[in-house]
Chains A and B, each alone.
Chain A
Amino acid sequence: MSADTTTALKAKFPQVTDRPSSDHPAVNVPVADLFAALQYLRDERAFDLLMDLTAVDWAEGVSPRFTIVYHLYSTSSASYVRVAANCANDAGPAVPSMVSLWPGANWHERECYDMFGIKFEGHPDLRRILMWDSYPYHPLRKEFPLAGIETPLSDPEITQETGTAAIAAPMAGGPFVAAPGEINMTEGEPRAKDESWADRRARPDQTELRQVKD
């Protein structure tokens, strides 16, 4: 059934290619065909449920930088398909909105816009959904530090009253992450990836580190 789907999709949209995947069938679709391909999957192949919609930032300087990913589910055949599309413009990525196909895409697209800064053309109400409206950054972009960048709070009156702002979080000792390759989390303990150096100053060399410890 699902191999069927990708074959049929590729027959209908010749530019569609297979995408490496370790679980469900997956395809790469050019942005120009994205809306038509998803509409085809929904109407002809009964992928009636949009499970998830997210994006990947492949890092600054990489082109294409942003890839948008849709996970579709068919409630009649109980199968999944993953559709990915590379955004054409690395500086101002934009893709068509899918709200007209699945109303549930509305908040997913707002979140994706909030976190990655990808514009969804035709979205009825493309506002930030997690961060406040005047927040200037897109936090899941690769160049954005986990600790954050100092930004005034959304309410000027409260900012004045409390004299505080959204500051960069103290990262001393963290974040704690598993080293790449350590898939088995029960055996590989997460290690501290000390970003406190990266926040303010360059990481000192090893001799300096040792001196601090002695």
Chain B
Amino acid sequence: MVTANTELGYNSKIEGDVIVSRADAVINWIRTNSMWPMPMGLACCAIELMAVGGARFDIARFGAEVMRFSPRQSDCMIVAGTVTYKMAPHVRRIYDQMAAPKWVIAMGACASSGGMYRSYATLQGVDRILPVDVYVSGCPPRPEALLDALMKLQAKIKREPSTGRLFSA
């Protein structure tokens, strides 16, 4: 509970129980440890994404275990799989429906660059329709690699101004 602590202002002998910080640092600290993913599982990479959610790799250790299938409640879209041109407009629309601030992880070769699908049907990298924060290499990436990407994203968020993303597209 927050109470007005008038003593803090003048008592130089006060010790403990008081933390002074920047608002940015506090907000970003809160955000990094509760990032609810939007599991955009579109192909085989989604299987590894499920493994990350399972007990062995346990994405809950990083506060990101609450996979939200509603874009309104999620913070971080994990694009796990091959994005076809038919699916691409829907991926973008779901991203648009997520509330700011929001982040994107492109998981695997397909989401990052189109992967081995150099063809008429496949979007050549999800960064052509979304702003991607972290790319993960691999086909599919190991679950550890996705956890690493999540930690990289957390490190990135900690460096950001906390209000910078509030009104971004």
Binding site for B on A (CB under 8 A): 130-132, 137, 139, 144-149, 151, 153-155, 158-159, 161-162, 164, 166-171, 174-175
Contact = CB atoms under 8 A, between A and B. Distances in A.
A171 B117 CA distance: 10
Nearest to A156: B89
5 contacts: A148-B120, A158-B93, A158-B129, A164-B128, A171-B118
B89 A146 contact: no
A38 to B, nearest CB: 31
Nearest to A162: B129
Contacts of B43: none
A169 B89 contact: no
B21 to A, nearest CB: 38
A90 B123 CA distance: 32
B124 to A, nearest CB: 6
Given A130-B86, A158-B93, A164 B129 contact: yes
Contact of A162 (B86, B92, B114, B118): B92
B86 A154 contact: yes
Contacts of A154: 85-86, 89
B86 to A, nearest CB: 5
Interface of B: 85-86, 88-89, 92-93, 96, 114, 117-124, 128-129
A139 B121 CA distance: 9
Listed from nearest, the 9 A-B pairs whose CB atoms lie closest are A148-B120, A155-B89, A158-B89, A166-B85, A169-B118, A162-B129, A132-B86, A158-B92, A164-B128
Contacts of B118: 146-147, 169-171, 174-175
A96 B29 CA distance: 64
A148 B93 contact: no
A130 B118 CA distance: 17
Given A158-B93, A158-B129, A162-B129, A169 B86 contact: no
A169 B93 contact: no
Tell me which of B96, B120, B124, B128 has the highest count of chain A C-beta atoms within 10 A of its own C-beta: B120
Nearest to A139: B120
A170 B124 CA distance: 8
A159 B117 CA distance: 22
A170 B128 CA distance: 14
Contacts of A148: 119-121
Tell me which of A149, A154, A175 has the highest count of chain B C-beta atoms within 10 A of its own C-beta: A154
Contacts of B119: 146-148, 169
Contacts of A174: 118
Contacts of B129: 158, 162, 164
